[in-house]
Amino acid sequence: MSAPPAAGRSNLDAILSQARADRERLDSGAVGFVSLTALGVAAVVGAGIFVTTGVAASQYAGPAVVISFILAGIAAAATSLCYAEMAAMIPAAGSTYSYAFASFGTLLAWVIGWDLLLEYLFGASTVAVGWSGYFVSLLDSIGITVPHALTTAPFGKDPGIVNLPAVLIVLSMCGLLAFGMRESAKANNGLVALKLGVLVAFILIGAWFIKDANWKPFVPLNEGGFGDYGWSGVLRAAGVVFFAYIGFDAVSTAAAEARNPKKTIPLGLLATVAISTALYVAIATVMTGMVSYKALDVADPLSAAIHAAGPSLAWFDSIVSLSAVVGLAATIMVVFYGQTRILMRMASDGLLPDALGKVSGTRQTPVVATTVCALGGALIAGFVPIAALTNLVSIGTLFAFVIVSSAVVALRRNRPELERPFRVPALPLVAGVAIVFSVALIVMLPVATWIRLFVWLAIGLTIFFAWGRANSRVRMAALPD
């Protein structure tokens, strides 16, 4: 049983009350449509475009990875439509956590919130490690060598002392978040503009170096197993590249600080998916035309395509590496932004210690929550090998997608009278596509990922029943009508 809110008050009413309070203490109106879209693009057009595109093309789909991105974009669009309806109706900072609280009660809200804490923390830390690799490589290209011991965690293969660049980027991005939302949004807008400029330049310049022979066959023949090229490979690649889209939910965490959130949050979500899909499709088209898909199974597929074009494009390689450093820094900041707001919202609802829910009166940011994220993220990025935890990040996000898509249907049925500034068209079909696609990908994840998730949830449920449930009941009962 979930903890009930105050007598006569529904969970939805309680969340809406909290959302109004958040807008009074945070810097409401700090981000408009452009900044919201930039937040989403920063989260989605990150490691996926610099790494995942090459992996999906080389191992599963060949040049037909373009079709895979279109299929994944359709699934992401269906999910973002569900997010848009919920965000317009419940403009709360907690995103999926708040939607679950309003639709299904405190227990499921805790489960998804606890799950998201792990997803965001390890997601941001994983990107920080990737950023470190690009940054060290960029420094090396200009003659600056960073000792191996200071770029590698002390555990795993070929251990070092600490991944110092990863630690520093985490602390820097969290420091910017603590300073203020307006400043963070402006910085992110600049980083995203630079990244998009370089990617568009890659598309326009690379188009002159396309060789038709690299697109033949467009769909490589299947080699016997499911996903080993052929049309099954296209579907397998769609599942792989879908993970590149999972950051768009960061837009909805900005609801308490958005200008006119009932309008701008849905628009920001849909614009994020549209822009990201167009970029991914264009990049994949040009990349697979510049070089054989078999040569793209590398950590930096964009560089592989540039090298294939010959020495005339050598000057552009460093610029692309710089865009990766800039782009991944923006991704780190946005992911930590989402986590701090979910921490703040859960603490304000009594499910986490009160200190995490406090907002600075001068900076209008949750400074304690941001500090906790900075320290936790720095420790993980600097000292823990992240590779084994990547799938754990994925399963958390996919679980959140299922919850949100189900919540839209549940509230349409249970609370049809509610004002819905945005409504999902053809809801059963759209929500069904989002749920089926996410569940299919969850099922395909390794067993070890499920085990890690269950262990994490077991810890979370112990905390909930021992402390969080009773504390939240008291907090919700004390809310003003």
Sorted by where each begins, the domain ranges of the chain are 11-471
What stretch of H or E contains 383?
A: helix 367-383
Q: Can you list the alpha helix ranges (DSSP code H) found in 207-313?
A: 230-242, 261-290, 301-308
Residue 84 has pLDDT above 60, yes or no: yes
Kindly give, in sequence order, each residue whose CB lies less than 8 Å from that of residue 61, ignoring residues fewer than 6 positions away: 67, 68, 219, 220, 229, 233, 234, 236, 237
Q: What is the rounded average pLDDT of the residues 83-96?
A: 88
2 pLDDT tier (thresholds 50, 70, 90): very low
Backbone angles phi, psi at 151, to 5 degrees: -125, 10
Residue 123 has pLDDT above 70, yes or no: yes
Q: For the chain, report the end-to-end CA distance as a whole number of angstroms.
A: 23
Please tell me what DSSP assigns to residue 222. Answer: P
Lowest mean pLDDT among 76-80, 87-91, 281-285, 450-454: 450-454
pLDDT tens figures, 60-79: 999 999 999 999 899 999 99
Q: Which of 401, 104, 95 has its CA nearest to residue 256? A: 95
Q: Which of 15-19, 219-223, 298-302, 389-393 has the highest mean pLDDT?
A: 219-223
Residue 8: predicted pLDDT: 40
Residue 7: predicted pLDDT: 39
Q: What is the rounded average pLDDT of the residues 452-470?
A: 89
pLDDT tens figures, 270-325: 999 999 999 999 999 999 999 999 998 876 788 889 988 888 888 888 888 888 88
Q: What is the rounded average pLDDT of the residues 367-381?
A: 93
Q: What is the rounded average pLDDT of the residues 359-382?
A: 92
Residue 258, SS3? strand
Give Cα separations from 164 to 123, 133, 336, 379, 418 (angstroms): 18, 11, 18, 10, 50
Residue 392: predicted pLDDT: 57
The mean predicted confidence, pLDDT, of the chain is: 86
CA distance 53 to 288: 10
119 pLDDT tier (thresholds 50, 70, 90): confident
Dihedral of CA atoms 300, 302, 305, 306 in degrees, nearest 10, equals -110
Residue 384: predicted pLDDT: 78
Largest CA distance in the chain: 72
Q: Please work out, in degrees rounded to the nearest 5, the angle formed at the alpha carbon of residue 118 by the alpha carbons of 457 and 342.
A: 105
Backbone angles phi, psi at 45, to 5 degrees: -90, 75
pTM: 0.88
Extract the tokens encoding 170.
Answer: 């985490």
Estimate to the nearest angstrom the gap between the alpha carbon of 21 and the chain centroid.
Answer: 26
Residue 387: predicted pLDDT: 54
pLDDT top residue among 390 and 57: 57
CB 480, CB 8: distance < 8 Å: no
Residue 4: predicted pLDDT: 43
CA distance 157 to 165: 19
23 pLDDT tier (thresholds 50, 70, 90): confident
Residue 5: predicted pLDDT: 45
Q: Please work out, in degrees rounded to the nearest 5, the angle formed at the alpha carbon of residue 189 by the alpha carbons of 434 and 123.
A: 50
CA distance 396 to 39: 20
Burial of 347 (0-12, 13-18, 19+ CB in 10 A): buried
Residue 6: predicted pLDDT: 43
pLDDT tens figures, 155-209: 767 788 899 999 999 999 999 999 999 999 999 999 999 999 999 999 999 999 9
452 pLDDT tier (thresholds 50, 70, 90): confident
Homologous superfamily (CATH) of 11-471 is: Amino acid/polyamine transporter I (1.20.1740.10)
Q: Please work out, in degrees rounded to the nearest 5, the angle formed at the alpha carbon of residue 343 by the alpha carbons of 339 and 349.
A: 145
Residue 370 has pLDDT above 70, yes or no: yes
CB 41, CB 210: distance < 8 Å: no
- 29-65 per-residue burial string, b: 16 or more CB within 10 A, e: under 16: ebbebebbbbbbbbbbbbbbbbbbbbbbbbbbbbbbb
pLDDT tens figures, 311-360: 888 888 888 888 888 888 999 999 899 999 999 999 988 899 999 999 98
